Structure 1
């Protein structure tokens, strides 16, 4: 995985291959030698124009919140700039008629449009509203754990398929009132979009989800209820969303609103089971859980890289000059193991944020910090609390040296998590 000196005219063979299996397999340590360089490197993704690759914690904080960068390529002055996110989805198989939903989405907007879109939904994901959801999240988790032994074969069950995946998709579907009969279809399509597949398989999944989102808007417009989408359709909103914006919001909420949590629950469970000292610490002191979830997001969070940012003027990132219109790709997983930001960055320390606040970038930073961060943290805390209480002797039932990981270069995730169950503790005991 050789990397040569960066330059804006490098040949493809000289660019960092962001689809390199070494980077996908272990993005936390594979970027180390790149992070240690004095300047950023340039990287490539098949079908996408080259980008600068940022790996340092301080640099990425600047890129995510500094005035010299925007997430919306269309706002760069001086001419058209290649929209790397759009190029990525096109290369993966997105059909042309669905490109407009990328442009209408909250994730790819900036300035007034972003403030308008985010302002409409921020309250639904506030700490207070999320805390009110905790009893329901716990009830869903308890129900899934009750059924877990029914799915076991010789005492072994896939914790992702039967616990980590159905928990957050149930919660997000209830928030936007997806009919229960349709939820498995939404879950399957969302899983396809985040699995790293390409071609018609991805194009069809996205097309199906867009069609379902349109149908959901029509349903709530004619039969409003006590849910987020019905609220956004209500007349009292002065800053109304267009249909395209609402459909894009629904797709983003379902995909981003559950897949990060699925993978965080799974990655966290594996990390705890392979760090018995930290697991014992958490069992001894359950009040440590919020700090544990925060540290687990830093240590083994599923978000490898954030959306590209574009320079709106000539600037510098660290020691690297960046020209107007050039794209910079933040590698979050590398930043979260940066020794310049964290003491013993490669160690798992569940007490880390109890004594010192070293903010990780797993949920982003600045105005584009993940809208659903509080919900993801709450769901993960409840999931781990209930799982460890109900299955006190939980242990891995797979080769710890070769876990079953997916090939998506954006999401660091397990494809399955076989665990061995011991006799369960009934709920309430």
Structure 2
């Protein structure tokens, strides 16, 4: 491009503290901009408009794996970051998410796990989701200290990991370890990630051997059968990768959304009152919360396999592009008054749908499951504890100081039951 584009640091406090506001300003000033990524030489592209973000996410000319760019030596940003954070090189491929694959390899693995996320399977899980949620709600008063309980630690992560582990086949005894490993993996703290990755891989290897000795009614048993019946369809490494992807992504994103969503409702009493008055708004409220306060600020980098003309400018072959989901979800060309939280907002029309779960071939497999989990968790929590309120002023809620994520460290609340 002939014009000089602004270059932004992803460590800019204005983008970390207020990603919706910060990236919206970038979108309004220059929809296609440059950004500096920590630890990476040279700038990458930021794509910020809803239309362009959807195009990058859905266009096959943009790939997740830079080795699929013809004749390019584009560095793999994900691998670079993982190694820098201490992931052992021999474990790197085990934790390379299915989301980083392309073409037939990605399609083959997606087909193997997609049947676990059908509406029939999710509907069958619903009674178990409700039971797990009620059990966790029973325990909350005992977790309170001086009348205050942290929902991040004692509810928002525990509920979704209990569900996804039941679906995949991770025993209840291992769930606390998986929460710990997943938090380390997403914390980007070097020095601890290597141990977390090693723990996850070793745990899955042990579970695979258990399923070979004794089958169960879970996804892991299905994958072991596929692997042992036809190794060409699924390798042992791919099986480990799938389980890590499903367990970590399957609870972390939902836990983050529950934390941000509950904080949003507790600081918007008019919206909270609407949901209390009509709990059937739960699924619709979930979509609006996913648009308004998703913790996942941007999708994984994509790489152009050829020169691609976007609505905002030209991206050259080999260029790394980061689709900024939060700015797309706040695009006033698509969402009326986008900075207003409105749990009655309609998200059904395709053009007006948020991209909190991505778009295109990599649209989140677990979106329907997450929607059910979150709707059950939020409505049950509000019904059980109608006096629920924040225990600290909203401005004192602590968030992780990380780029491209908006993660609550804790959500202290009073249950409104006199202690």
**TM-score with structure 2 length normalisation?**
0.94
Which 4+ stretches in 1 moved above 4 angstroms?
235-239, 354-357
Question: Which of 164, 171, 183 is 1:179 aligned to?
Answer: 171
Matches within 5 A, 1:348-363: 348-353=341-346, 358-363=352-357
**CA–CA separation in structure 2 for the residues paired with 1:33 and 1:411:** 17
Structure 1 residue 21 and structure 2 residue 17: aligned? no
CA shift, 1:297, in A, is 0.2
**CA–CA separation in structure 2 for the residues paired with 1:355 and 1:97:** 44
In structure 1, the residue corresponding to 2:396 is in which secondary structure?
Answer: coil
Match of 2:160 in 1: 168
Q: What is the number of equivalent residue pairs in this alignment?
A: 412
Counterpart contact for 2:385–2:416, Cα < 8 Å? yes
Match of 1:324 in 2: 317
In structure 2, the residue corresponding to 1:419 is in which secondary structure?
Answer: strand
In structure 2, the residue corresponding to 1:48 is in which secondary structure?
Answer: coil
Structure 1 residue 380 and structure 2 residue 371: aligned? no
**CA–CA separation in structure 2 for the residues paired with 1:355 and 1:47:** 40
In structure 2, the residue corresponding to 1:224 is in which secondary structure?
Answer: coil
Counterpart contact for 1:301–1:333, Cα < 8 Å? yes
**CA–CA separation in structure 2 for the residues paired with 1:311 and 1:127:** 34
Counterpart contact for 2:347–2:353, Cα < 8 Å? no
Structure 1 residue 271 and structure 2 residue 270: aligned? no
Match of 2:48 in 1: 55
**CA–CA separation in structure 2 for the residues paired with 1:37 and 1:354:** 27
**CA–CA separation in structure 2 for the residues paired with 1:274 and 1:196:** 29
Match of 2:206 in 1: 215
Indicate how the Cα distance of structure 1 residues 24 and 37 shifts in structure 2: closer, same or farther if over 3 A, else same: same
Matches within 5 A, 1:14-413: 15-49=7-41, 50-103=43-96, 105-197=97-189, 199-235=190-226, 240-353=233-346, 358-413=352-407
Q: Provide Cα deviations, 1:242-287, integer angstroms capped at 9, x if missing partner.
A: 0110111111111111011111111111111111111111122222
**CA–CA separation in structure 2 for the residues paired with 1:39 and 1:354:** 23
Q: Provide Cα deviations, 1:342-384, integer angstroms capped at 9, x if missing partner.
A: 1010001111117866210100000101111111111100000
Counterpart contact for 1:39–1:318, Cα < 8 Å? no
Counterpart contact for 1:232–1:240, Cα < 8 Å? no
Counterpart contact for 2:256–2:408, Cα < 8 Å? yes
CA shift, 1:291, in A, is 0.6
Indicate how the Cα distance of structure 1 residues 237 and 269 shifts in structure 2: closer, same or farther if over 3 A, else same: farther
Question: Which of 392, 411, 417 is 1:417 aligned to?
Answer: 411
Indicate how the Cα distance of structure 1 residues 204 and 326 shifts in structure 2: closer, same or farther if over 3 A, else same: same
Q: Provide Cα deviations, 1:163-192, integer angstroms capped at 9, x if missing partner.
A: 111111111111222222222112111111
CA shift, 1:409, in A, is 2.1
Counterpart contact for 1:63–1:309, Cα < 8 Å? yes
Indicate how the Cα distance of structure 1 residues 39 and 260 shifts in structure 2: closer, same or farther if over 3 A, else same: closer
CA shift, 1:306, in A, is 0.5
Q: Provide Cα deviations, 1:63-115, integer angstroms capped at 9, x if missing partner.
A: 00023211221211123321111122122222211222255x41111111111
In structure 2, the residue corresponding to 1:42 is in which secondary structure?
Answer: strand
In the alignment, structure 2 segments of 5+ residues that lack a partner are: none
Indicate how the Cα distance of structure 1 residues 354 and 187 shifts in structure 2: closer, same or farther if over 3 A, else same: closer
**Of 111-120 and 178-187, the range deviating more from structure 2:** 178-187
Counterpart contact for 2:10–2:404, Cα < 8 Å? no
**CA–CA separation in structure 2 for the residues paired with 1:79 and 1:154:** 59
**Of 139-148 and 180-189, the range deviating more from structure 2:** 180-189
CA RMSD in angstroms, aligned pairs only: 1.8
In the alignment, structure 1 segments of 5+ residues that lack a partner are: 7-13, 425-429
Counterpart contact for 1:298–1:361, Cα < 8 Å? yes
**CA–CA separation in structure 2 for the residues paired with 1:381 and 1:393:** 19
Counterpart contact for 1:156–1:420, Cα < 8 Å? yes
Counterpart contact for 1:295–1:350, Cα < 8 Å? yes
